[in-house]
């Protein structure tokens, strides 16, 4: 079996920084599982099924990629899927503290699983799902920051202002 990694997240919505990390991860690992957190208590804008669909549309050309929804502890999913690594993205120093804590907790829960931090291309370092939703909610275009299918769905939820 090759090296399998899990890239977890809410992906609400998936944006071009996420897609960049998926493609970078596929250059490193033999197989990547994109694991969408299905927890509805976080009040996501899109359902888990919609998020899975948007990721699938944006990565349809990627081999060795599997997209799934999960709920519960990430480390349990990693064990169940016989993965070796967790992939996490770091955009800025502000992401590091939270990600560092999570990596250490996951190491405590399973000493055999590693966490790898990847940085997206610098053109995506300012993008976050939270900012994408906020900007789109004001009817402003986020085209170029998200895959076309995501942009279409955001425009349906938040009609754009007339120019």
Query: What integer pLDDT is reported at residue 12 of this predicted model?
Result: 97
pLDDT band at 163 (very low <50, low <70, confident <90, very high): low
Let me know if 3 is a catalytic residue.
Answer: no
Q: Dihedrals φ, ψ of 115, to 5°?
A: -115, 130
Reply yes or no on whether 133 is catalytic: no
**Active-site residue (options: 4, 15, 88, 129):** 129
| Three-class secondary structure of residue 69 per DSSP | strand
Between CA 107 and CA 76 the distance in angstroms is: 12
User: Is 60 an annotated catalytic residue?
Assistant: no
| 91 given a catalytic annotation | yes
Catalytic residue among 27, 42, 60, 108: 42
Q: Is the pLDDT of residue 27 over 80?
A: yes
Residue 117 has pLDDT above 90, yes or no: yes
Q: Name the CATH code of domain 4-123 (choices 3.40.50.970, 3.40.50.620, 3.40.718.10, 3.40.50.300).
A: 3.40.50.620
Among 23, 91, 107, 141, the one annotated catalytic: 91
pLDDT band at 18 (very low <50, low <70, confident <90, very high): very high
Residue 68: its H or E element: strand 65-70
pLDDT in tens, 32-85: 999 999 986 778 999 999 999 999 999 999 999 999 999 999 999 999 999 999
Annotated catalytic residue within 18, 24, 84, 88 = 18
Q: Looking at the predicted structure, is the pLDDT value of residue 1 above 80? A: no
């Amino acid at each position: 079996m090759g090296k399998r990694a899990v890239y977890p997240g809410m992906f609400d919505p998936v944006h071009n920084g996420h897609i960049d990390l998926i493609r970078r991860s596929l250059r490193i690992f033999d197989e990547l599982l994109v694991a969408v957190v299905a927890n509805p208590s976080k009040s996501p804008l899109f359902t888990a099924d919609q998020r899975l669909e948007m990721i699938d549309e944006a990565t349809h050309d990627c081999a060795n990629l599997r997209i799934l929804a999960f709920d519960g502890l990430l480390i349990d999913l990693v064990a169940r899927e016989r993965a070796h690594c967790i992939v996490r993205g770091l955009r800025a120093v502000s992401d590091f503290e939270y990600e560092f804590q999570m990596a250490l907790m996951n190491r405590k829960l399973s000493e055999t699983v590693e966490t790898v931090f990847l940085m997206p291309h610098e053109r995506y370092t300012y993008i976050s799902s939270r900012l994408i939703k906020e900007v789109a909610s004001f009817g402003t275009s986020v085209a170029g920051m998200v895959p076309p299918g995501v942009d279409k769905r955001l425009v349906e939820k938040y009609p754009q202002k007339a120019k």
